[in-house]
Amino acid sequence: MTDTTRTGVLHDADAQRKIVNRLRRAHGQLAAVVTAVENGEDCRDVVQQLAAVSKALDRAGFLVISTALKECLADPDAENLAQPDELEKLFLTLA
């Protein structure tokens, strides 16, 4: 289901919901890392939690780029969408 108002960063409501869910998950994981460090937990546990946060953020970023690419392919003449070369740079930023 795609919203055609083009007012936000992402116009696909389902993709936006998925991205927000991933970011909220990462937010919760990061809060757990902060608590673990404050409580002096084992470094292995802290690093494992940091890895989970990093992976969640990466996945959210790739989903943002993937959604933008789909929108670009669906409507290549839209003025406010990222262009393919810009999407490639964004992708490489996350890689």
Residue 2, pLDDT score: 46
Taking the C-alpha atoms of residue 5 and residue 41, their distance in angstroms, rounded to an integer, is 48
Residue 10, pLDDT score: 64
Residue 9, pLDDT score: 57
DSSP 2: B
Taking the C-alpha atoms of residue 56 and residue 54, their distance in angstroms, rounded to an integer, is 5
- All structural domains of the chain with their residue ranges: 13-94
Burial readout 3-23 (b: 16 or more C-beta within 10 A, e: otherwise): eeeeeeebbbeebbebbeebb
Low-confidence ranges of the chain (pLDDT < 50): 1-8
Residue 3, pLDDT score: 44
Residue 4, pLDDT score: 42
Amino acid found at 92: L
pLDDT digits (tens, 9 = 90+) for 67-88: 888 877 777 777 766 777 887 8
Choosing among 3.65.10.10, 1.10.357.10, 3.30.70.2740, 1.20.58.1000, the CATH entry for 13-94 is 1.20.58.1000
Taking the C-alpha atoms of residue 89 and residue 37, their distance in angstroms, rounded to an integer, is 34
Taking the C-alpha atoms of residue 53 and residue 13, their distance in angstroms, rounded to an integer, is 24
